[in-house]
Amino acid sequence: MGAPDPVALRRQAARLVGQLDEPVRDELRRNPNLAVEIYFGLTVIVGSASGCGLDASYDRRAQTIRISEFASDSRRRFSCLHEFGHHLIATDDEIQDWLYARGGQHDAATEEQLADAIAATLILPDSVVEEHLTSGWTVRSLAAFVADQEFASREACCVRAAQRLMKNGMVILSKGSDVLFSAPRNLPFRIRRNARQADSSLFARAARTGFATASYESVNLGGFVSGMQFDGQARTTADGYTFSVLTESLAEVDRGGRPLPARWTCRECNGDITGEPWCERCSRRQCPDCGCACPPSKAGPSVVAVVCQNCFLMIPTACVECPNCN
């Protein structure tokens, strides 16, 4: 099943939220736990949770929302509104028809993205988003946007930012090498929570240096590597969280339609190493300051080739990652 139309997702979320009275929307934004009980008769239980996410779950039959007691206040607020989004979806015939029409069966993955969109729309109205994420916004703008919010969680900010991407891609929250949350735009997949990324990944490098860029980067979706490659930027804030903006890598061409030469960036210092020599062992450009991708303990005169299981390129065993896929 293909990716959900991002415009349709945003329209459906806006339609459901727009049906609520303004005082109700305001109370949901400020105190969602109390608001869903008073206005919608749902019971909110703070304790252990399981279901669509690690932090919360919704039981339609029992009319209850469970929220993890270990989540932060802002995360609990977003989780409650996400599960409340499932409640709105379950009671709206138009949404149900739309979800079934996508593949002849209920599209659970799209429902998750729609619940995220509902929560983010409630907690971050368009007027608030447009103050920071104007045309041409960057990962620096995103970090400033997050820091300026009183009620919104980092996850809610990521969802709203993903809606404003100009190309297919995703906005990601991570810490160290672990992805905590991903918000896709027009993609049939997302990165699972706590999916560990490579130490040479965009996320890990930004966690070490504060800022990183990447071209033609694959990501670990949580058990397997994405076939799609991304260009992106990542910035780590003072509290140790990294925000990344990834968009689908598209080959650039000159006026004659010929592909332009690839630009190579050092994975450690982010310097341009396009013109540097190739390493004969790991098949990567050698940064004059940081070296290449060869682990020092494995570098040696003998080179034994192996086959990349993704693109079937013959690569040396000393290579940490396939230079064609990463």
The pLDDT, as a whole number, for residue 276 is 76
Query: Cα separation of 94 and 113, whole Å?
Result: 17
pLDDT exceeds 60 at position 231: yes
Residue 97 lies in domain: 6-123
- Of 17-31, 122-136, 149-163, 305-319, the one with minimum mean pLDDT is 305-319
Question: Last residue of some domain: 93, 123, 153?
Answer: 123
Q: What is the pLDDT of residues 67-87, one digit of tens each?
A: 988 877 888 889 999 999 999
Q: Quick check: 307 pLDDT over 60?
A: no
Per-residue burial over 272-301, b = 16 or more CB atoms within 10 Å of its CB, e = otherwise: ebeebeebebbbbbbbeeeebbbeeeeeee
Model pLDDT, residue 315: 52
* Stronger pLDDT, 94 or 326, i.e. the higher one: 94
**pLDDT of res. 259:** 47
Closest CA to 139 of 157, 121, 116: 157
Question: What percentage of the chain carries pLDDT values higher than 90?
Answer: 45
Residue 117 domain-assigned? yes
Please, where are the H alpha helices in the chain?
6-18, 22-30, 32-40, 73-90, 93-101, 108-123, 126-132, 139-147, 154-163, 202-209
The tens digit of pLDDT for each residue in 117-152 reads 999 999 998 888 988 898 778 899 999 999 998 888
Name the more confident of 271 and 177.
Answer: 177
Report the domain count for the chain. Answer: 2
The DSSP element (H or E) to which 247 belongs, if any, is strand 242-248
Is residue 76 domain-shared with residue 157, that is, in the same domain?
A: no
Q: Which residues pair with 57 in a beta bridge?
A: 66
Instruction: Mean pLDDT check: name the lowest of 32-36, 187-191, 281-285.
Output: 281-285
282 in a structural domain = no
Both structure tokens of 35: 């608001």
Give residue 298's pLDDT: 38
| Cα(40)–Cα(59) distance, integer angstroms | 14
In terms of domains, do 63 and 149 share one?
Answer: no
Whether 114 maps to a domain, the answer reads yes
Range 284-311 average pLDDT:
57
Answer positive or negative: Cα dihedral of 236, 237, 238, 241. Answer: negative
Domain membership of residue 255 (yes or no) is: no
